[in-house]
């Protein structure tokens, strides 16, 4: 790290658990953020400001006026712009040292097969069940940790799916791709504006912890938030032996 970086990241470096070595791991890391909306905005802004060296942003959607109520990376003068490009501009405005790559297409299987193996951590900020399943499958296949979040109305949830460790479930162990739920979007039910900020911030924290090795991740635990009462609950997750993606088994190196 140069002198400017030592100053910029000094508040991280002062943390005994992180220090210079932990910050250097962040600078050397590559985060793949899929979805640049309500969850992707705080994830991208926090990872960029924290010094993740490389970020790949994937989103095919465009900024709409209804997004501005909660998608804090976007601005009124970017209506009609691609969301990944808009988020990239906001990240670079905070930290121009971050290398940001923008993908303006959908997160499909061929794309994921190319992007996921290059990543240190994948953060799922999408709102589409099929895309979530495709992301999980790629992360299981390439043994890359996945931080998954969701937010709708006043309810949010977040967890880490890390198949590098024995006995850990994947996303499909909890939400089987064989029984897709009825798709409900915020355009129908609405979403409490700060909720996506809360869940996205937790996702960013988990991604930083995974990269640096600090603390204990949410792997094997699902956190759920009821923002009406601002009440968190937690359930323990177990691998599903009948999982169609991972089979509930650990595939070692």
Which fold is adopted by the domain 3-236?
Answer: Rossmann fold (3.40.50)
From the candidates 125, 139, 173, 186, which is the catalytic residue? 186
pLDDT score of 104: 97
The model's pTM: 0.94
pLDDT of residue 170: 96
Q: In what order do the strands lie in the sheet with 121-124?
A: 99-103, 54-58, 30-34, 121-124, 146-152, 155-161, 221-226, 231-236
Read off φ and ψ for residue 117, nearest 5 degrees: -65, -20
CA distance 233 to 38: 22
Q: What is the pLDDT of residues 35-74, one digit of tens each?
A: 999 999 999 999 999 999 999 999 999 999 999 999 999 9
Task: Tell me: pLDDT of 117 over 60.
Answer: yes
Asked whether 12 and 36 are in contact (CB, 8 A), the reply is no
Tell me: the pLDDT tens digits for 218-250? Answer: 999 999 999 999 999 999 999 999 999 998 665
The question of whether 186 is a catalytic residue gets the answer yes
| Residue 205 CB-density burial (10 A; 0-12 exposed, 13-18 middle, 19+ buried) | buried
Strand, helix or coil at 125? coil
Indicate the average pLDDT of the chain: 94
What digits encode the pLDDT tens for the residues 175-230? 998 887 776 666 678 999 999 999 999 999 999 999 999 999 999 999 999 999 99
Residues in the chain: 253
H/E run at residue 112? helix 109-115
């Amino acid at each position: 790290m140069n002198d400017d970086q030592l100053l910029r990241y000094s508040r991280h470096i002062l943390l005994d658990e992180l220090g210079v070595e932990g910050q250097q791991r962040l600078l050397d890391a590559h985060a793949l953020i899929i979805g640049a909306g309500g969850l992707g905005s705080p994830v991208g802004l926090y990872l960029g400001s924290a010094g993740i060296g490389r970020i790949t942003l994937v989103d095919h959607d465009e900024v709409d006026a209804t997004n501005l109520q909660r998608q804090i990376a976007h601005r009124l003068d970017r209506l009609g712009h691609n969301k990944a490009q808009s988020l990239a501009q906001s990240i670079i405005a905070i930290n121009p040292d971050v290398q940001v790559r923008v993908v303006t297409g959908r997160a499909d299987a061929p794309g994921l097969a190319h992007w996921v193996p290059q990543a240190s951590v994948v953060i799922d900020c999408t709102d589409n069940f099929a895309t979530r399943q495709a992301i999980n499958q790629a992360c299981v296949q390439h043994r890359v940790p996945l931080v998954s979040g969701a937010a709708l109305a006043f309810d949010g949830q977040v967890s880490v799916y890390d198949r590098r460790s024995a006995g850990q479930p994947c996303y499909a162990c909890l939400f089987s791709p064989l029984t897709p739920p009825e798709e409900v979007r915020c355009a129908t039910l609405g979403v409490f504006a700060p909720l996506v900020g809360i869940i996205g911030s937790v996702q960013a924290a988990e991604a930083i912890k995974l990269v640096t090795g600090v603390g204990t991740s949410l792997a094997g635990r699902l956190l759920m938030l009821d923002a009406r009462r601002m009440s968190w609950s937690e359930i323990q997750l177990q691998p599903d032996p009948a999982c169609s993606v991972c089979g509930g088994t650990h595939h070692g190196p």
